[in-house]
Amino acid sequence: MKSLEIKGLNIDFKKRNSFISVVQGLDLDILESEIVGIAGESGSGKTVSTLALADLLPEGNSRISYKSYKIKSNNVDRKQIPYFRGRLISYIFQDPIPSLDPMFTIRYQLKEILKVGSRKEVDDKMIDKLLLDVGLKDRERVLSSYPHQLSGGMAQRVAIAFALGSNSKILVADEPTTALDAHIKKGILDLLKKIRDQRGLSIFFISHDLEQTFYIADRVYIFYAGSVVEYAKSSVIKEKPLHPYTRALLDCIPKRGVDELKQIRGKSPDFGDLPKGCLFYPRCTFAMDICQKKRPPLIEVKKGHFLRCFKEKI
Amino acid sequence: MKKILEVSNLNKRFKTGGAFLKKRGEVVALSDVSFTLYSKETVGVIGESGSGKSTLAFVLAGLYERDQGEILFKDNDLSVLYKKDLRVRREIQIVFQDPYNTLNPRYTVFDTLREPLLVHNIVPRKKIRDEVLKTLDVVGLRPDYLFKYPHELSGGERQRIAIARAVILKPELLICDEPTSNLDLSIQAQILNLLLQIKREENLSMIFITHDISVASFISDRIIVLYEGSIIEEGKSADILDNPQKDYTKALLKASAL
């Protein structure tokens, strides 16, 4: 069953006196106990779109609109969404330490969260179990620590414990491994997978690293300049990426024995001045005349494989 | 091959604590590090955080003083050179991890790139502008970037400026301390290509510090594995990656492969 579904999401940001469109007509959904990867460069709207799911964008400076927002196939009123924060949807961010309160020990903060999440008295057993679940072995030390005393990997595990403690059904992991060392990354990815299996959690995994996304996600959305250019099962995209942008991104991964990496020419478009046709047109190596004039729609080229490109149609 | 850098038994310790009610202690950042860098070679230094990678870069760049050991730069003692012969500061340049903090926010790109030329006085004043433009071109930026401030630039562009600031002095040794770890994949590819291209054209030797094994395997001829301040394995890139000898290296490679 779909645990969350949003259709036709538009996000505008205020710049001086006008609004510029940052996310256009985005459809996003996630099944129960599914990991959905969201990949793209910085500024492609990955974070903004997922923040909008819990109405976390600054009021006044941003405008969010959508056609429908469903939780488990039930329509949700816009006013209810703020109550989802920390109850239905939890977030973990790139840098875990600022998301923990520096003035309180981990024990105090965990207790507080568990109290809200479980609505009953919290005993040490619950805390112990939670820490065990996120793979923190040195429990006493972690619990009596303040956030600054934790290493990056430990802090990220604590942040995950916080998200779990609140009993959320959907976890948004926004580049949770970017600030960590290469060899700790895999541990965090495996942990997220394990939690998904144990608790039936739905996870949005946001990353600019395609290798990680393919490793962890069941389904992958590729974002470019505020819209989805391709989405399919992660094994499908990994085997046979169709969109020129996805291919170009994959070519950017450093490899051995190559004299020069392929790179994407130009840079991401300015949101105030988006190209009229395909958003990727100015940087695309396969660009055709039609790409300049018309913006391609997102079409299903094979079952479950959606693509926003004219190339496949012809 | 010509040796450009010879490091032997390098040690660096940091004092910790000593503040109110805190015990004094010592952290060993580098212990008995020895290696040689040949001319036109790229050595990748890998290891986890806290393994002393950045300390090594800082000591080599003269930003920290070593405690013990010897560093020979083209057969001269580097620490003596840093005190007496300031030319060496031109010959060894460093690019840092964070392009957001290493540029002066009140300097335009032109000011940033002009400064090293003025300090080292290697180009006649009238030619400075030409030299700056030439270097901008080398790092792939158009002349209209000349009067932009760092806040107007993206992360990749800032890192290009940081690289331009280093290579404008025509150094012989370029130390890169995780120059791409804050950048997107597509920008990372551009920066890595740029570094390789500059290295080829300017005959640079390079020390490239990273925690990303795939980056290290792409860019380096040889790889050094650091663990808790000492070198535990060293060898040709292919040897280290395909046939690691030490358990730590094996674990590091395994954990990094997805």
A81 and A177 together in one domain:
yes
Share of chain A above pLDDT 90, in %: 46
The chain-wide mean pLDDT, for chain B, equals 89
Residue A97 lies in a domain: no
Q: Please tell me whether residue A297 adopts helix, strand or coil conformation.
A: coil
Distance from CA of B218 to the nearest CA of A (A): 5
Provide the pLDDT for residue A50: 93
Say yes or no: A210 contacts chain B, CB-CB below 8 A: yes
User: Where a domain ends, among A141, A167, A193?
Assistant: A167
Residue A60 lies in a domain: yes
For A141-151, the pLDDT digits (tens) are 999 999 999 98
A61 and A187 together in one domain:
yes
Provide the pLDDT for residue B187: 84
Helices (H), A178-257: 182-199, 210-216, 234-239, 244-251
Distance from CA of A121 to the nearest CA of B (A): 37
A64 and A139 together in one domain:
no
Provide the pLDDT for residue A313: 56
Q: What is the DSSP letter of A96?
A: S
Residue A13 lies in a domain: yes
| Interface with B, mutate which of A94, A245, A252 (most B CBs under 10 A) | A252
A159 and A189 together in one domain:
no
The whole-angstrom separation of Cα B72 and Cα A157 is: 44
User: Where a domain ends, among A147, A167, A187?
Assistant: A167
**Minimum mean pLDDT among A174-183, B40-49, B138-147: which range?**
A174-183
Provide the pLDDT for residue B168: 92
Calculate the alpha carbon distances from A113 to A120, A130, A203, B71 in Å. Answer: 11, 12, 20, 53
Cβ contact B214–A253 (<8 Å) = yes
**Minimum mean pLDDT among A102-106, A181-185, B18-22, B246-250: which range?**
B18-22
A181 and A262 together in one domain:
yes
B198 phi/psi in degrees, rounded to 5: -65, -40
What is the arithmetic mean of pLDDT over B17-24?
72
A83 and A120 together in one domain:
no
For A203-216, the pLDDT digits (tens) are 999 998 898 999 99
Check if CATH label 3.90.1150.10 holds for domain B3-256: no
The whole-angstrom separation of Cα A30 and Cα A202 is: 7
Residues of chain B that touch chain A, judged by Cβ-Cβ distance less than 8 Å? 48-49, 154-156, 184-190, 192-193, 196-197, 211-215, 217-219, 237-238, 241, 251-252, 255-256, 258
A215 and A289 together in one domain:
yes
A263: confidence class by pLDDT, cuts 50, 70, 90: confident
Which residues on B lie below 8 Å from A208 (Cβ)? 184-185
Distance from CA of A213 to the nearest CA of B (A): 10
What is the arithmetic mean of pLDDT over A246-274?
85
Provide the pLDDT for residue B182: 78
Provide the pLDDT for residue A196: 94
Higher local confidence (pLDDT), A218 or A183: A218
Cβ contact B185–A152 (<8 Å) = no
The whole-angstrom separation of Cα A132 and Cα A158 is: 11
Which residues on A lie below 8 Å from B156 (Cβ)? 267
Facing residue for A261 by CB, picked from B154, B189, B255: B189
In total, how many domains does chain A have?
A: 2
Provide the pLDDT for residue B62: 87
User: Where a domain ends, among A130, A149, A167?
Assistant: A167
Share of chain B above pLDDT 90, in %: 54
Residue A313 lies in a domain: no
Pick from A40, A5, A20: nearest CA to A237 = A40
Please say if the pLDDT value at position B128 is more than 90: yes
For A27-57, the pLDDT digits (tens) are 999 999 999 999 988 888 899 999 999 999 9
Facing residue for A254 by CB, picked from B187, B218, B241: B218
Please say if the pLDDT value at position B214 is more than 60: yes
A120 and A42 together in one domain:
no
CATH code of A15's domain? 3.40.50.300
Range of the domain at A160: 103-167
Look-up of token digits 């930026």: B141
A282 and A160 together in one domain:
no
A7 and A147 together in one domain:
no
How many other CB atoms sit within 10 Å of the CB of residue B31? 18
The chain-wide mean pLDDT, for chain A, equals 89
Distance from CA of B196 to the nearest CA of A (A): 8
A297 and A221 together in one domain:
yes
Which residues on B lie below 8 Å from A267 (Cβ)? 154, 156
What is the arithmetic mean of pLDDT over B94-108?
89
Please say if the pLDDT value at position A264 is more than 90: no
Facing residue for A41 by CB, picked from B49, B186, B237: B186
Total CB pairs under 8 A between chain A and B: 85
Please say if the pLDDT value at position B247 is more than 60: yes
Higher local confidence (pLDDT), A146 or A273: A146
For B174-209, the pLDDT digits (tens) are 999 989 887 888 888 888 999 998 888 888 999 999
For A82-93, the pLDDT digits (tens) are 888 888 999 998
Provide the pLDDT for residue A314: 46
Provide the pLDDT for residue A260: 84
A111 and A188 together in one domain:
no
